[in-house]
Amino acid sequence: MNSLEANDIKLQENIIIADAEYIDNVAFDLIVNYERMLGRKIPKADMAQWAINVGLDGGMKPGRQTTGIILIHDKNTKQLNNFLPSNLQTELNNRAFNDEQFGEFTFTAYPTEEMVTKHDFLEDMARTICNHKDVRRVMLIPDAENEQVLEGLRRMLKDVDDDKHVTLFTMQPTRGGHFRQEILGYSLTNAMGVRADEFRD
């Protein structure tokens, strides 16, 4: 990935906001289960491919565009254990890559302090981004195991304009709201190089 200057970070038309520890834990569970089911070593998830997959699930179309990935994490978390690249500050924060089909993807890692919980920070970030006129698609990946977090997002998203394309990613279908839903596991599975036909053998 290429380095970005801090002042290059701006709101893109596609924004992915993810709870970094949550996606790392889900990736770990998938790796353990797939290794048991398929009898082979499963590689860590390719972060770039995962970002493209989430964008596609969130309605991104081919073309010249920019997609921002915001990874919100506890300040004591230095790296993800089940993704490559993995170090939040040295390998992901202010980094970018270009995809010939889908344009530029930029990464920003935000550590949270004790004064505000990670869940509140994610909700506030999502509210700000959803209200920004230049943003067209927002993909949210909160800690979906926490019903309070999901309920807070449901309440916040009720007021989002209809022209915003908001997608909530969880591992299980959840109660609906003013958003689309997608299953997080599909994007991760593909980013690990696991194919659907492997489960039919």
Domain ranges of the chain: 16-199
Q: How many CB atoms lie within 10 A of CB 43?
A: 13
Average pLDDT over residues 69-74: 96
pLDDT over threshold 90, residue 87: yes
Mean pLDDT of the chain: 91
The model carries a pTM of 0.92
* pLDDT confidence of residue 102: 96
Average pLDDT over residues 56-69: 95
pLDDT over threshold 70, residue 27: yes
Rounded distance between C-alpha atoms, residue 33 and residue 31, angstroms: 6
pLDDT over threshold 50, residue 162: yes
Residues in the chain: 201
* pLDDT confidence of residue 104: 95
Average pLDDT over residues 18-25: 98
Torsion angle of the four alpha carbons 140, 145, 149, 150, in this order, in degrees rounded to the nearest 10: 60
